[in-house]
Structure 1
Amino acid sequence: MEDSMKIKLQMLTMDYQIPWFLVECMYTNHSNLSDLVGTPINELAFSCFDDLYPGVHRSKVHGGTGIGTLPPGGFKHLIHIFHWTRTPAGKYLGETRSLLQPTKKMGNFYIPSATDLKLSATVFEKHAGIDVAYNDKRLSGVMQIAPLHIFKYSFEIYRTLLNFERGYVDCGFPVTAYVACIMNLLPTKADVKLLRANGIVPSTGIDEKEVLSSLQRLKGDDVDFNNVRMPNDLNILSEKVREHHERSYSRSYAELKSRYFANPWITISVIAGILLFILTFIQTILSFIQTKYSVLSYKKQ
């Protein structure tokens, strides 16, 4: 048990992969194992990595629809299982299922940084699994993105997942899309600090500088984004984000919020000022009516 984390990380390296159908055969044909555990080998593998990040897609694995919608042809190996339990279904598909989509490459993907998006009233919320979504509410925008937990082992995990997607394009590019979004959102310490305040970059004992250095190391490794085709889902997300960010009234709304509603005491002062103005206006009207009737009464007499 003392070496369980080390063993799990070794199990998720390419050198230790065994074709999964061989593991299934050994498990089902070894009566002592299957009787002792009494659980399907797939479900054992699902729960094996629950304490590793990126976190599992809970609705997909635990009591959701995922158990009944396993990949066609089964799993290839443990890395495939880890990838499947962390990613959304039916999104960021690879070239084999997107032949009619634009031939854009991941190297051309762009969205503004987190601090820039704040200037157009975009807020950030946590998403389940490795996924990114954007909801344009005209005046404001909501970007839902999976939390980025950075530990000492995170670099190797993400590098393995990125290389897995390059080798198995039929599994799609959800991790590639997620990493590309994170790299665009977090170019500076201020961006990391902003997303940390929103719970997107949880504190794991690693400061803003180390988070940036981990991302730069991943970008400078053997993962070549220029030769990966951009999934259509990600292309649509990029267009939605940039369209919202370029609207003048979204920026005006964000400025209004930051100036008058960023601090609760300022908000209370503004509301109190508005109420005072309304009450003063009503009092003025009532005084005018009272004066008018007093003059009419005097004239009639």
Structure 2
Amino acid sequence: MFSFVRLDLVVLENQLPFFVLEELFNLAFVDDSSSLPLIPLTFNFFKCFNVQNMDPENVKIEHFMTDLIRAFQLPLNPLLKRPTRMMVKLWYSATELHDAGVKFEGSSSICLLDLHYEKGVLKMPRLVLDDQTEALVRNVMALEQFCHWNEVCLTDYFIFLDSLINTIEDINLLCDRGILVNNLVDNKAALSMVKNLVTNITCSGMSSDFTIICKELNAFYKKRFHRWMARLSVTTLKNQYFNNPWRGAGTIAACLLLLLTLIQTIMSILQVAKA
């Protein structure tokens, strides 16, 4: 029951500004010295979302309770300099990048924005998809659009995720790598949810933290050498030529035939040379 109450309280149209709640709270408990302040009480009520164990003293709720849900997902040590925004898009999906040689790995970080890309390896924290995800994310992004329009960190993340995911195969890949945890009925439902998250969301570019990763992934994909090496990988060979016994036997037979033909050609050349 409490989970439904929490979800209702996060919905923006159900809320009063937080300063109004504080005034009402202070009036209601003006003579109660044993009562905790409103912010610690709010922290306790929403503690299931406080995955980074943030301290109430270090978080300021500027507008609505949804601010708190957003704050739980921000880095504990934000950069002093605000990242610039750039009009850069990721042009390739997760499976396209994977086929080009990009490796996807789930990271141990619990901050959703803690993405790292280096030398063909993209590490992303785990994201759980369940019945509450869409309502939470949509309301946090709506808050960013109207109250944090110059620092839409979580909106940037979900736009990036939307670019990575276009098909069921993309969902399958990210689930296999531990980046997505799908608690919905199936991966089709997960795909539908992810593609719906950024519907009607407008954003003037993305933070440089994300655009740098987008640029590097786009550049990696465009290099033919990487795609060629990816096709020679053990996993790709197994999937394409050894995915069942008959195809495996046919592949081995073809290789043997090619080898015997090569040997015969070499022997013929040697005989001609001796003659």
TM-score of the pair, normalised by structure 1: 0.66
For 1:168, the equivalent position in structure 2 comes to 147
Equivalent position to 1:122, from 99, 103, 106? 103
For 2:138, the equivalent position in structure 1 comes to 159
Which of the two has higher C-alpha Rg?
1
Distance 1:128 1:252, change over 3 A: farther
Equivalent position to 2:93, from 105, 108, 113? 113
**Counterpart residue type for residue 154 of structure 1:** T
Structure 2 CA distance for aligned equivalents of residues 257 and 129 of structure 1? 33
Partner SS, residue 237 of structure 1: helix
Give 5+ residue unaligned stretches, structure 2.
240-275
The Cα RMSD (Å) is 3.0
Structure 2 CA distance for aligned equivalents of residues 67 and 251 of structure 1? 48
Give matches, 1:42-191, under 5 Å: 42-51=39-48, 55-58=49-52, 61=54, 67-71=56-60, 74-88=61-75, 90=78, 101=84, 104=87, 109-119=89-99, 120-126=101-107, 127-137=109-119, 140-147=120-127, 149-169=128-148, 172-191=151-170
Partner SS, residue 121 of structure 2: strand
Deviations, residues 174-214 of structure 1 (Å, cap 9, x unaligned): 22111112111111111111111122221314211111212
Deviations, residues 122-177 of structure 1 (Å, cap 9, x unaligned): 2221442331513213xx31332441x22233222221111111101257212211
Distance 1:33 1:210, change over 3 A: farther
For 1:245, the equivalent position in structure 2 comes to 221
Cα shift at 1:86: 1.9
CA contact (8 A) 1:10 1:16 kept: yes
Cα shift at 1:76: 1.6
For 2:4, the equivalent position in structure 1 comes to 6
Cα shift at 1:27: 4.0
Partner SS, residue 59 of structure 2: coil
For 2:256, the equivalent position in structure 1 comes to none
Distance 1:68 1:242, change over 3 A: farther
Cα shift at 1:239: 1.1
Distance 1:151 1:256, change over 3 A: closer
What percent identity do the matched residue pairs reach? 16
Partner SS, residue 202 of structure 1: strand
